[in-house]
Amino acid sequence: MPCNCDTDCGTPARLSASGETVSLQIDGQAVTVPAGTSLMRAAIEAGISVPKLCATDSLEPFGSCRMCLVEIEGRRGYPASCTTPAEAGMNVRTQTDKLAKLRHDVMELYISDHPLDCLTCSANGDCELQDMAGAVGLRNVRYGFDGANHLQAKKDESNPYFTYEPSKCIVCNRCVRACEETQGTFALTISGRGFESRVSPGQDQAFMDSECVSCGACVQACPTATLQDKSVISLGMPTKSIITTCAYCGVGCGFKAEVKGEQVVRMTPWKDGKANEGHSCVKGRFAWGYATHKDRITKPMIRERITDPWREVSWDEAIGYAANQFRQIQLRHGKDSIGGITSSRCTNEETYLVQKLVRAAFGNNNVDTCARVCHSPTGYGLKQTFGESAGTQTFKSVEQSDVILVIGANPTDAHPVFASRMKKRIRAGARLIVADPRRIDLVASPHVRADFHLQLKPGTNVALITALAHVVVTEGLVAADYIGERCDEKSFREWQEFVAREENSPEATAIITGVPADQVRGAARLYATGGNAAIYYGLGVTEHAQGSTMVMGIANLAMATGNVGREGVGVNPLRGQNNVQGACDMGSFPHELPGYRHVSDTTVRMQFEDAWGVPLPSEPGLRIPNMFDAASEGTFRALYVQGEDIVQSDPNTQHVTGALAQLECLVVQDLFLNETAKYAHVFLPGSSFVEKDGTFTNAERRISRVRKVMKPLGGLADWEVTVKLSNALGYAMKYTHPSQIMDEIAALTPTFHGVSYAKLDKLGSVQWPCNDDTAEAGTPIMHVDGFSRGKGRFVITQYVPSSEKVTKRFPLVLTTGRILSQYNVGAQTRRTPNNEWHDEDRLEIHPHDAEERGVNDGDWVGIASRAGETVLRAVVSERMQPGVVYTTFHFPESGANVITTENSDWATNCPEYKVTAVQISKVAQPSEWQRGYQRFNDRQLELLAQRHDSVPAK
């Protein structure tokens, strides 16, 4: 029988490609396992216990602890069962007097140099050393503590999330192996020899000073209290666990929320989570404390003007006030004068309800989502070429890739769990091409190095992708049979003629992109001829004026080389937030109903009208930028924002705040009083992912359950708030559980027809399309037998330079991105100890550009653009190329989006965050914007203080 996912089978499963099995006897029991399976795993799968300390099924066998020794008939000695493969006809004994004596004596040696503080140890009840001592029957230790020992070894508590207590280390190497095999950082080693051997995060370094990225793999692997969560030390052992899904990036890692009552004690990666297979990053593993942070707003609040103090009210009063404001505004200004914005951090069910509320209760299509400002070009571009608005592969598919092309993405910082899987494949022999203006970690780091780094100028993606295609076409590297069978011939011929033009050659485009022609040619040849080739891209592709064009260019290249429709290939957008894919799937765009079906389609619209019981508008509504423009003009008067901080995240902050200040009613539903809430008239407390039930859909189209761990601090989950608001508006919603919402989604959305909570509870997750035409668990690989649209369509990708030009006044180009320890606008991670790694946004600048301006590392620099100005601290770094500067946008006071412009993608209005012309100068004081920001913050604090003072003492 298969190994239960909660059982540690000691060594990884082995699956023979040929399906070969071997049969043997273990303790008199007949056992049959796949060829290559270890004796340890064969025994444990058969229900036979084998003692172990250095072995765990997430790591390759090591054979150092000598606890798992067995006897094999006809062989001398006592081999370790973890490193010995099962062979046909073997007769194995795991329990004999001799084995018992050997194990007892080995355990006695371990305990002779281990603190005997089990009753007060933080790992008491969750310690494998303790368990094994009991398993071998150790009752006395013959050796005293008078000689050399490690009991006084100094504890390392530098990491904010875990401690390292070397006195309890048994040198099993599990943490070192986890850092190498699972994470791929190689931050840990065994220092010293013999008795002096101990785990070390570097040469006499503390964990916080080392290359450790705090992914938690070492803590998870440790069999003792050597590496231990500080939350467990302070709160004690959890009493139960609930499987849920991480609420950070689009990887969608499965976790076990381990709790005491309703108090989260720790989050441990779920090894049966298909997206992460037991791995995690610093955010998902440790940065969950924001859910109970003191900044949480847990009482509804209202105010008539944004200069008034907030007034705490009941839920009924807040909902009633908001509903009345919306209705009165529509009576005065028309039904199209209000709208809503859904959240990519909320569940599918919650997002679905918000767009339903806008369409059915507001009576218009003025609904949009934050995907507008990140991955809307993905939806448009892939729909045009492949016929489906989503990535083609599973994350696991990269394990079959021979060539990996990463464009405009920084997986080690933004999608670290997937990056670990990718790096493992690269270490195993896959070739790597990186196209990025910066020298990201994947370009060159220990044990991973790109074959080609195409260090293009920001804004020239389309010229580069077309040059790559030029090489494929002109050198006869196209997959002719694939194209003939799978693609539209007319569009291919037109595209082929276009890319073959001399103007699209690497030599001609080098002056545009800055990438030498020989590098482009080498990369193109590798991608086209190197075997299974996969493309992974991020916001460095989509957040451009030609974002949609670039997505289509990527699709063109993949189709031209036959790299769509099987394991190890494909086009894979790395979604930024946890439910960007789901927010798009649920109909959050003003022109689409759930399932990417246009609002003008009468047949589709009638289905929703029948289900929802109201007529629906057929004209697309306002996009987010249109809402701001209309608000500034006075025709758009009210907005409901669920779980998004548009003031901090959207470009040209002055324009956004100016628009919001014109609204008669802004309703914000969130965890914290964020930047957008400063312009709100109604604040509705939101709920974190541990306070709700629902589903998230990750970047591989994987739908996974989110399960409630504790009651919402504000009393209601987000979906319940939307239900109350809709009912108050006069449109009845009668849901009593999110499963009913999913049932409605499945009934109305073809790609979700087979999705239900019962199926998700049974399988763990499913991937859409999931309906009668797919397997029970859905569709891991898209476009296997043909494209969703029928024949794949090639699209001409003419390069058009950005209208954002460098000039003498603004000679540098600013591009933006993320960093590992922080997330998006930082609302969550800034309220955790992750600030110890990154406590402010900084500006990376090349030494040449810094020297020209007299800027040194750590100096304050003013950054001016056509949109505004701000001040950041400089980091002089050769990761940048001359002429390009870079910053993150995690801290509101940095004002990163004060200087980004309103330029946007031609098809979707996705902002061009990645190309802003700027000038840098050394300064000694904060910018006017930052002074204004501080003044506004001070005023908000005064108003909050007034609110607290006005609440009668109990």
Q: Which two tokens stand for residue 148?
A: 């050399």
Q: Among all chains, which residue has been given the structure tokens 């289905």?
A: 607
**Contact by Cβ (8 Å): 697, 595:** no
Q: What is the CA radius of gyration of the chain?
A: 29
Q: Which residues pair with 706 in a beta bridge?
A: 694
> Considering only 119-123, 324-328, 633-637, 788-792, which range has the smallest mean pLDDT?
119-123
**Contact by Cβ (8 Å): 534, 568:** yes
Give the pLDDT band (50/70/90) at residue 938: low
- Label residue 902 exposed, middle or buried (CB < 10 Å: 0-12, 13-18, 19+): middle
Tell me the mean pLDDT in the region 664-688: 96
Give Cα separations from 562 to 707, 750, 783 (angstroms): 40, 28, 12
pLDDT digits (tens, 9 = 90+) for 539-585: 999 989 999 999 999 999 999 999 999 999 999 999 888 899 999 99
Give Cα separations from 59 to 12, 42, 82, 555 (angstroms): 7, 16, 11, 36
pLDDT digits (tens, 9 = 90+) for 220-231: 999 999 999 999
Question: What pLDDT, on the 0 to 100 scale, is given for residue 193?
Answer: 83
Q: For 475, which DSSP code?
A: T
Q: Which residue has the higher pLDDT, 607 or 115?
A: 607
Average pLDDT taken over every residue of the chain: 92
Q: Closest Cα to residue 544, out of 645, 452, 457, 467?
A: 457
Phi, psi of 467 (to 5 degrees): -65, -40
Question: What pLDDT, on the 0 to 100 scale, is given for residue 633?
Answer: 94
Q: Which residues pair with 667 in a beta bridge?
A: 640, 682
Q: Which residue has the higher pLDDT, 196 or 189?
A: 189
Give the integer Cα–Cα distance in Å for 790 and 784: 12
**Contact by Cβ (8 Å): 632, 658:** yes
953, pLDDT greater than 50: no
944, pLDDT greater than 60: no
606, pLDDT greater than 70: yes
Question: What pLDDT, on the 0 to 100 scale, is given for residue 951?
Answer: 44
Task: Describe the crossing of helices 461-474 and 489-499 by its angle, rounded to 10 degrees.
Answer: 100
Question: What pLDDT, on the 0 to 100 scale, is given for residue 332?
Answer: 96
Give the integer Cα–Cα distance in Å for 311 and 303: 6
pLDDT digits (tens, 9 = 90+) for 832-849: 999 999 999 999 999 999
Question: What pLDDT, on the 0 to 100 scale, is given for residue 205?
Answer: 86
Tell me the mean pLDDT in the region 496-505: 97
Q: What percent of the chain has pLDDT over 70?
A: 96
pLDDT digits (tens, 9 = 90+) for 804-836: 999 999 999 999 999 999 998 889 999 999 999
Q: Which two tokens stand for residue 834?
A: 């992750």
Question: CA torsion sign, 837 to 843 to 844 to 850?
Answer: negative
4, pLDDT greater than 50: no
Phi, psi of 327 (to 5 degrees): -65, -45
772, pLDDT greater than 90: no
Q: Please tell me whether the overall predicted TM-score, pTM, comes out greater than 0.75 for this model.
A: yes
Question: What pLDDT, on the 0 to 100 scale, is given for residue 149?
Answer: 75
**Angular region, 441: left φ>0, alpha ψ -120 to 50, beta rest:** alpha
Distance in angstroms between the alpha carbons of the first and the last residue of the chain: 61
- Domains annotated for the chain, with CATH where assigned, are 21-95 (3.10.20.740), 128-292 (3.30.70.20), 301-370+579-767 (3.40.50.740), 376-573 (3.40.228.10), 812-900+924-940 (2.40.40.20)
1, pLDDT greater than 60: no
937, pLDDT greater than 70: no
503, pLDDT greater than 50: yes
Query: 740-745: long-range contacts at Cβ-Cβ below 8 A with a sequence spacing of 24 or more?
Result: 741/349, 741/352, 741/353, 742/348, 742/349, 742/695, 744/352, 744/611, 745/348, 745/349, 745/352, 745/586, 745/594
pLDDT digits (tens, 9 = 90+) for 58-110: 999 999 999 999 999 999 999 999 999 999 999 999 999 999 999 999 988 88
